């Protein structure tokens, strides 16, 4: 056991942070301010205590005395708060808070205590805003934000996703990856090859492919409060990367950046496509907002602590996995292909061959660093002449106490990490099979350490992959496009 633990730490030491970048490579989309320099450090995956938000808490029945006790009437201003944001949380306007607290402007500061008026007190100041109705009739594509073709394509994507045949975030586009996944699904389902059979199957199982979701108050515990971005006179953002990095390591949870990101990941959807579906929704949706969403089996982050991970091996149903063309993870039970999910290589130049082995899974991983510099490749010696002097070697500067990036959906390796080993070995490599903080970043790599999937796909995959599963590296030709006959989406 001790040898296994030492191997885990040794195998997890050297990870390239900030989008799988090599030192000196520029950071792209998906890298938060403050992480650019961290691309040159060594990182390791660290198991974290289970987030209490993902564990059901015991229900406590309040006593009559507690029911009659007055409710809290103070609110402490947090980073990212604004007077209007706080007011909306309590169902009132900023004018109510200003008058009740004797404020002459909207300026507030972190740590300031605001008095929250009771409902009668607020009504005495001014009428309260009427709650937004959730019974409005939504017109999907009513302003041509989403075309009929996109809706039909999205219905196929939803159907395939529910069969564990995913081509990535649902976006209504017919990409080459979409065609390949559809081709692989049809190979194992000859009953839908006949004209119109796929459309009939989709209609009977998912209808038009969409449903509705109402944002709940409890959803916002997984969403970061909005942050103000200061713009300088030249029009660019004025930020301090050192301060931004300190804020990242001081934050215990890497939560969603916005309600849109929360809903998009929950329903396996491209965020821009989700916004197009819901063009009528305000820029910052609030609790009670009804949204049109793909009718997939939702990824429920609040249930991660209750979801069983890797199954026990079953000799009657042998499982194997394969990565095809560095683009698709295929999972087989016996000879049947039961799941297909897109992957991207999160380290430049990562290429596997032969077979690897899947080891244990780490739920909600953290990333730890002592800011040790990665080993740099040495310059080749010249063929002739004298080599240039390299100068005095810099003394390594490392921390005495490890720093951590907190766990959560926006951790660079997502919500789950699976250790990998070479075939016949139990020693974890520096590579892993893991989630991502930027699902819309595919096919470009925006993570670290190995082979990345969307957070919803890595969770579904690991639930089918026992410890010891063989992971093969394969290649196959790109199939020709197959056009399914799909019924047009019915009017809402």
- pLDDT digit string, tens, across residues 433-460: 999 888 765 444 445 668 999 999 999 9
Same domain, 28 and 84: no
Same domain, 49 and 77: no
**Mean pLDDT computed over 256-281:** 94
What pLDDT, on a 0 to 100 scale, did the predictor assign at position 441? 56
Distance separating alpha carbons of residues 253 and 248, to the nearest angstrom: 9
| Lowest-confidence region among 239-243, 353-357, 371-375, 399-403 | 239-243
Same domain, 411 and 450: yes
**Mean pLDDT computed over 340-366:** 89
Average pLDDT, the chain: 79
Q: What is the CATH classification number for the domain harbouring 42?
A: 2.40.440.10
Q: How far, in Å, are 104, 138, 225, 248, 252 from residue 79 at the CA level? A: 21, 35, 8, 13, 14
Distance separating alpha carbons of residues 127 and 341, to the nearest angstrom: 52
Cβ-Cβ contacts under 8 Å for 243 (sequence gap 6 or more): 34
Quick check: is 302 in a domain?
A: no
**b vs e for 25-35, b when ≥16 Cβ sit within 10 Å of the residue's Cβ?**
eebeebbbbbb
Same domain, 6 and 111: no
Quick check: is 411 in a domain?
A: yes
Q: What is the CATH classification number for the domain harbouring 84?
A: 3.10.350.10
**Mean pLDDT computed over 347-368:** 89
- Ranked by mean pLDDT, the top range of 28-32, 352-356, 393-397 is 352-356
Does residue 309 carry a pLDDT above 80?
yes
**Mean pLDDT computed over 9-35:** 45
Quick check: is 176 in a domain?
A: no
Does residue 135 carry a pLDDT above 80?
no
Q: Judge whether 438 and 405 are in contact, CB under 8 Å.
A: no
**Mean pLDDT computed over 419-425:** 91
Quick check: is 299 in a domain?
A: no
Same domain, 6 and 112: no
Quick check: is 65 in a domain?
A: no
What pLDDT, on a 0 to 100 scale, did the predictor assign at position 450? 84
Quick check: is 78 in a domain?
A: yes
As for how many domains the chain has, the answer is 2
Same domain, 355 and 425: yes
Find, among 132, 107, 30, 113, the residue nearest to 72 by Cα: 113
What pLDDT, on a 0 to 100 scale, did the predictor assign at position 118? 80
Same domain, 437 and 340: yes
Cβ atoms within 10 Å, residue 279: 16
What pLDDT, on a 0 to 100 scale, did the predictor assign at position 465? 97
Quick check: is 188 in a domain?
A: no
Q: Helix (H, G, I), strand (E, B), or coil: what is residue 243?
A: helix
What pLDDT, on a 0 to 100 scale, did the predictor assign at position 90? 79
Residue 312 lies in domain? 2-53+307-377+395-474
What pLDDT, on a 0 to 100 scale, did the predictor assign at position 177? 94
Same domain, 369 and 408: yes
Backbone angles phi, psi at 276, to 5 degrees: -65, -40
> Cα angle vertex 356, ends 180, 427, to 5°?
145
Does residue 477 carry a pLDDT above 60?
no
Distance separating alpha carbons of residues 379 and 203, to the nearest angstrom: 61
**Mean pLDDT computed over 414-432:** 91
Quick check: is 108 in a domain?
A: yes
Same domain, 334 and 404: yes
Same domain, 318 and 420: yes
| Lowest-confidence region among 277-286, 299-308, 331-340, 394-403 | 394-403
Does residue 211 carry a pLDDT above 50?
yes
Residue 432, beta-bridge partner list: 419, 450
Same domain, 36 and 96: no
Same domain, 20 and 94: no
């Amino acid at each position: 056991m001790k040898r296994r633990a030492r191997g885990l730490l040794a195998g997890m030491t050297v990870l390239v942070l900030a989008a799988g970048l090599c030192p000196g490579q520029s950071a792209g989309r998906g890298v938060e301010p403050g992480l650019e320099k961290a691309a040159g450090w060594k990182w390791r995956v660290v198991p974290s205590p289970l987030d209490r938000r993902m564990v059901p808490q015991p229900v406590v029945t309040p006593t009559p005395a507690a029911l009659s006790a007055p409710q809290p009437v103070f609110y402490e201003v947090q980073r990212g708060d604004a007077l209007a944001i706080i007011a909306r949380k309590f169902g009132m306007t900023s004018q109510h808070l200003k008058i009740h607290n004797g404020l002459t402007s909207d300026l507030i500061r972190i740590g300031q205590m605001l008095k929250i008026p009771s409902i009668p007190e607020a009504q005495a100041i001014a009428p309260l805003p009427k709650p937004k109705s959730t019974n409005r009739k939504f017109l999907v594509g009513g302003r041509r934000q989403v075309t009929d073709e996109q809706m039909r394509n999205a219905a196929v994507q939803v159907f395939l996703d529910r069969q564990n045949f995913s081509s990535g975030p649902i976006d209504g586009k017919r990409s080459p990856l979409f065609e390949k996944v559809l081709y692989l699904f049809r190979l194992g389902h000859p009953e839908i090859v006949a004209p119109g059979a796929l459309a009939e199957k989709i209609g009977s199982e998912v209808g038009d492919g969409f449903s509705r979701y109402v944002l709940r108050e409890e959803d916002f515990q997984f969403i970061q409060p909005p942050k103000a971005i200061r713009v300088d006179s030249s029009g660019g953002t004025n930020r301090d990367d050192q301060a931004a990095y300190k804020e990242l390591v001081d934050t215990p949870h890497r939560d969603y950046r916005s309600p849109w990101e929360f809903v998009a990941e929950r329903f396996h959807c491209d965020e821009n496509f989700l916004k197009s579906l819901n063009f009528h929704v305000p820029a910052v949706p609030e609790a009670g907002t009804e949204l049109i969403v793909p009718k997939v089996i939702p990824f429920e982050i609040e249930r991660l602590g209750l979801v069983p991970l890797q199954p026990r091996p079953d000799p009657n149903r042998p499982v194997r996995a394969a990565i095809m063309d560095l683009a698709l993870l295929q999972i087989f039970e016996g000879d049947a292909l039961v799941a297909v999910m897109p992957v991207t290589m999160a380290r430049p130049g990562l290429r596997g061959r032969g077979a690897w082995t899947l080891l244990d899974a780490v739920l909600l991983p953290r990333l730890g660093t002592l800011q040790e510099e990665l080993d740099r490749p040495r310059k080749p010696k010249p063929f002739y002449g004298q080599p240039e002097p390299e100068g005095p070697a810099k003394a390594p500067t490392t921390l005495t106490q490890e720093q951590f990036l907190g766990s959560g959906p926006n951790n660079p390796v997502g919500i789950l990490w699976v250790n990998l080993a070479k075939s016949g070995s139990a020693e974890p490599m520096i590579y892993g099979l893991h989630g991502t903080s930027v699902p819309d970043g595919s096919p470009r790599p925006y993570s670290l350490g190995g082979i990345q999937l969307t957070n919803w796909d890595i969770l579904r995959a690991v639930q089918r992959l026992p410890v010891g599963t063989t992971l093969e590296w394969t290649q196959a030709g790109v199939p020709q496009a197959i056009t399914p006959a799909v019924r047009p989406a019915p009017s809402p």
